[in-house]
Amino acid sequence: MNKAGRVFSRNQRVYSPSAILMNLTVYPLIVLWTLLGILLFPPAFLGWKLVTRWDADRIMRHFIWIYGRVWMLILSPFVRFERQGLDQKALATPAVLVVNHLSFFDTYCMAMLPVFDISFAVRAWPFKMFFYAFFMRLASYLDVESFTYTQSLQAGDQVFRKGGSVLFFPEGHRSRTGDLQRFYSGAFRMAVESKIPVVPLCITGTDTLLPPGRYWLQPAKIVLRALPAVSPSRFEGPAAHILMRKEVKQMMTENLEELRG
Amino acid sequence: MTDQEIIELVNSSLAEEFELELADMTAETTIYDDLGLDSLDTVDMVIVLEGAFSFKIREEEAIREIRTLGDIHAFVIGKKRQLEAGL
């Protein structure tokens, strides 16, 4: 739904004046903001470090969150963002955050979260984007495709010990249909082995904004809903992570159906 | 259980666990490239097979050599026959 209340579907390509204006303005502004961010980064990083004395990865994660917030600001004339259940007090931290995956924009929409100290668990290919790779490594993002499971678990533990959270897209890939795909187990094994709760997140609308395989942006309403945290202590035995994965997926399926009406 | 029944139970258990299409599952299907499983999935696969066949296989070295569904079928059939013979 755009601001005028019209509903667009993921399969519709809209060439309305607002969509044309959106494509003419959003992409240049995002490129400009990215370049500006890279230029401003060194002095901002040093200044932040001197003032806060935070660890480098925490500062970087904060900067990435701010970077995402500005993306949202750039998109805001054309996109309505709605947060549900994202009360900072209700959102358990540290946590293993799991979110469904619909679009390239999903990662930037994680700036809708009220917390910034999040390390993303990502596949190997984003680390090949030279303009992002340095920052992702500095933020201690988890390269789950290149790491062994033990390395991922240790990296996750380091993030949890400092009070941060780790975010997974458990489907591994963007959904081409909008339906949840099968969930990989990594996030749930990490939660069970590190004794950290899983907070399921459901996102809708980013596949209308920019579905996989397209470059044409279109106005959308994006909803990010946090579901109640799921404690790993409720699951026992060697199949604990499998049971947890199935329960979380069921919760997300029901909530996504509700969000899509 | 006949060999065919074991193969069908292996396939249906894995299809349910990993949301796979039974039609895509042949003996030649590779578990990593064709089915898209990762190393953590193989741990889950062992748990699922243990549940389906009521045996313990997680310590078996031969599991590390599994590459195709046919390898899994042969491994499970061998294990079942071994248990039936009381070995």
Mean pLDDT over residues A124-139, rounded? 87
Its sign, for the CA torsion A70, A71, A72, A76, is positive
Three-state SS for A123?
coil
pLDDT digits (tens, 9 = 90+) for B19-65: 888 998 999 999 989 988 887 888 889 999 999 999 999 888 888 88
Residue B45: exposure state from Cβ atoms within 10 A (0-12, 13-18, ≥19): buried
Contacts of A186 in chain B (CB under 8 A): 40
Pick the more confident residue, A29 or A239: A29
Mean pLDDT over residues A109-135, rounded? 90
Phi-psi region of A85 (alpha: psi -120 to 50; beta: other; left: phi over 0): left
Separation CA A68–CA A72 (nearest Å): 6
Domain boundaries in chain B? Answer: 3-84
Answer whether A239 sits within 8 Å of B39, measured CB to CB.
no
Rg of chain A taking only CA atoms, in angstroms: 18
pLDDT at B86: 77
A5 — pLDDT class (breaks 50, 70, 90): very low
pLDDT digits (tens, 9 = 90+) for A212-259: 888 999 999 999 999 999 999 999 988 899 999 999 999 999 999 999
Nearest CA-CA partner of A185 in B13, B19, B12: B19
Amino acid symbol at A133: A
pLDDT digits (tens, 9 = 90+) for A34-75: 999 999 999 999 999 999 999 999 999 999 999 999 999 999
Instruction: Count other Cβ atoms within 10 Å, centred on residue A4.
Output: 8
Answer whether B41 sits within 8 Å of A189, measured CB to CB.
no
**What average pLDDT does chain A have?**
91
pLDDT at A90: 67
Answer whether B18 sits within 8 Å of A238, measured CB to CB.
no
- Taking CB atoms within 8 Å and a gap of at least 24, the contacts of A58-61 are A58/A117, A58/A162, A58/A164, A60/A135, A60/A138, A60/A139, A60/A140, A61/A116, A61/A117, A61/A118, A61/A119, A61/A139, A61/A140, A61/A164
State percent of chain A over pLDDT 90: 75
- The domains of chain A, with CATH numbers, are 17-259 (3.40.1130)
The alpha carbon of residue B41 is apart from the nearest alpha carbon of chain A, in Å, by: 7
Mean pLDDT over residues A130-138, rounded? 87
Q: Which residues pair with A97 in a beta bridge?
A: A167, A199
Domain B3-84 in CATH 3.90.1150.10: no
Does residue A14 carry a pLDDT above 80?
A: no
A11 — pLDDT class (breaks 50, 70, 90): low
Q: Which of A182, A189, A239 is closest, CB to CB, to B40?
A: A189
The pTM of the full predicted model, rounded to 2 decimals, is 0.86
Separation CA A195–CA A200 (nearest Å): 16
Pick the more confident residue, A173 or A69: A69
Which tokens sit at A113? Answer: 């979260």
Contacts of B54 in chain A (CB under 8 A): none
Pick the more confident residue, A250 or A87: A250
Does this complex have an ipTM over 0.90?
A: no
Separation CA A168–CA A187 (nearest Å): 6
Phi-psi region of A12 (alpha: psi -120 to 50; beta: other; left: phi over 0): beta
pLDDT at A1: 43
Answer whether B43 sits within 8 Å of A185, measured CB to CB.
yes
Instruction: Count other Cβ atoms within 10 Å, centred on residue B37.
Output: 18
pLDDT at A229: 94
